[in-house]
Amino acid sequence: MTEATAFGIDPDLWPCGLVVMNETGQIELTNATLREWLGIDSSDQCQSLRFVDVLSRAGRIYFETHLRPLLLMNGHFAEISMDIERSDGTRFGVFMNGRATLSNGRMINAHFCVFKNEQRRSFERELVAKRRESDEFRSLVRSSPQAIVSVDMDLIIHAWNPAAEDLFGYTEAKAIGERFDSLLVTPEDQETVADDLLHIATGETLRSEAVQLHKDGRRLHVEKSIAAINDKTQEYSGFVAIFSDISARKASEAKIQVLLEEINHRSKNLLSVVQVIARQTWRLYKGADFFSAFNNRIASLTSNQDMLISSKGSNVDLESLAHAQFAHLIDPEDPQVVISGPAVHLSKSVTQAIGMAIFELVTNAAKYGALSKEAGAVTLSWKINDMPSPMLEISWIETDGPPVIVPTRKGFGYQVTGPLLEGVTSGQTSREYATEGFRWTLKAPLDRLTQ
């Protein structure tokens, strides 16, 4: 059979490559067009080749794993893009259709027509590169730990990544198509949206800390960056906003603020304590004696402060703890202060809280209470009530001081002698602004204090 009769008319005239492959995969027939593309002169030379030999190596895998099974099972394939490889290793791109002649499930032979598509191929490669690029970009946005939201000119949300889902609570499906301002912007910030847009439209990138709305109405502290999206003609087409959650940072900033206020309170307190020490010491000592007594009292104040502030507190006897809180002000023999009670060994965990409470009471008494006057006196005593279970009761009684003034605000001192102490000791405190003097008590389960 000649090639001409096999194709019905002269196959060499056809502007596409034609190949017949036999059952075993050998090339049986080729037309001149294909041979010319391959740079092969004679059809005999072609017949010594397998069909896969004219494909690129990757193409062979594709042919054997996809196309040959398709020919056998379906009888045909179409529009497959392939690389054909010449014997010198150079290649050209083709589109290929194939059809098998089957008999009882066996392939007698297969016919392929091959269209060179070099020009289309470069376009195709570009499409593939674009697709890969956009795939990569998409996975980048999806994996971003920062919430990324893109918004069009009419403020409609177009993209919403998983981090945005996590941060704001809306699913991608819910967020897309919604208005950016109604979803995320708080009522008080509504007006600033238009301003922001004006700025970014000029090419500026806005970076700021902001408060945005969560789905459940919560306000989120975020850091946001907003920049314009320009289309290919550099026309403004919307903006992209990137948010990161800074609520943890905001919380720690708030904590630092509380600490600063506490430090401020304590330093002012200490300074007024120092003033009181100076005044009281001056009453008893003069000249060189004053400096030595004053130094001793300041040193005693410092060591007590160290003990109270240090979190490493140790088991301490209540009586020595109480004495330590007065030491900077009062000589041990001074009749102004009476400290008495049975031996109680406080556990580490409560030493600091009880010591600070007594120190606070001493400071207040020295500034405004009984210890601010020579005639005034303080009794700090404690006892243990055994019924129904052992309770320690500490009481602070001031007498003969100036008229008692009920404080108008509850400051840090109130916290230290009240709620904070109750929390640590599981106890209860009470205070009484009696005319004869201020009184204060703590009742707490003994086992909580001495464990």
Partner 1 sequence: MTAVEHCAVNITGSGEKTIVFLHGYGCDSGMWCKVAPAFENDFRVVTYDLMGYGKSATEHYDPVRYASLDGHVDDLVAILDELRLKDVIAVGHSVSAMTIGLAAKRRPDLIGRLVMICPSPSYANDGDYVGGFEKQDLLGLLDILDVNYLGWARDMAPLIMGVPDRPELGEELTESFCRTDPDIARHFAKVTFLFDHREDVKMITQPTLVLQCRDDALVPPTVWTWLMDNMQNADHVILDATGHCPHVSYPEATTEALVEFVRPRVVS
Residues engaged in binding partner 1 (CB under 8 A): 23-25, 50, 52, 56-66, 68-70, 72-74, 79-83, 105-107, 124-125, 127-128, 131-132
Closest approach of Cβ 226 to partner 1, in Å?
33
Whichever of 61 and 338 has its CB closer to partner 1, that residue is: 61
Whichever of 128 and 278 has its CB closer to partner 1, that residue is: 128
Reduce the secondary structure of the chain to three states and give it as a string: CCHHHHHCCCHHHCCCEEEEEECCCEEEEECHHHHHHHCCCCHHHHHCCEHHHHECHHHHHHHHHHHHHHHHHCCEEEEEEEEEECCCCCEEEEEEEEEEEEECCEEEEEEEEEEECHHHHHHHHHHHHHHHHHHHHHHHHHHCCCEEEEEECCCEEEEECHHHHHHHCCCHHHHCCCEHHHHHECHHHHHHHHHHHHHHHCCCCEEEEEEEECCCCCEEEEEEEEEEEECCCCCEEEEEEEEEECHHHHHHHHHHHHHHHHHHHHHHHHHHHHHHHHHHHHHHCCHHHHHHHHHHHHHHHHHHHHHHHCCCCCCEEHHHHHHHHHCCCCCCCCCCEEEECCCCEECHHHHHHHHHHHHHHHHHHHHCCHHHCCCCEEEEEEEEECCCCCEEEEEEEEECCCCCCCCCCCCHHHHHHCHHHHHHHCCEEEEEEECCEEEEEEEEEHHHHHC
Whichever of 61 and 271 has its CB closer to partner 1, that residue is: 61
Closest approach of Cβ 29 to partner 1, in Å?
18
Rounded CA-CA distance 323/165 in Å is: 59
Whichever of 139 and 171 has its CB closer to partner 1, that residue is: 139
Contact status, residue 237 vs residue 274, Cβ threshold 8 Å: no
Whichever of 10 and 118 has its CB closer to partner 1, that residue is: 118
Whichever of 131 and 214 has its CB closer to partner 1, that residue is: 131
Whichever of 127 and 271 has its CB closer to partner 1, that residue is: 127
Closest approach of Cβ 30 to partner 1, in Å?
19
Closest approach of Cβ 125 to partner 1, in Å?
8
Residues near 315 by beta carbon (within 8 Å), at least 6 away in sequence: 345, 346, 347, 348, 351
Closest approach of Cβ 61 to partner 1, in Å?
5
Closest approach of Cβ 348 to partner 1, in Å?
50
Whichever of 101 and 379 has its CB closer to partner 1, that residue is: 101
**CA-based end-to-end distance of the chain:** 108
Closest approach of Cβ 17 to partner 1, in Å?
18
Closest approach of Cβ 119 to partner 1, in Å?
14
Closest approach of Cβ 20 to partner 1, in Å?
16
Closest approach of Cβ 231 to partner 1, in Å?
25
Whichever of 55 and 324 has its CB closer to partner 1, that residue is: 55
Whichever of 83 and 422 has its CB closer to partner 1, that residue is: 83
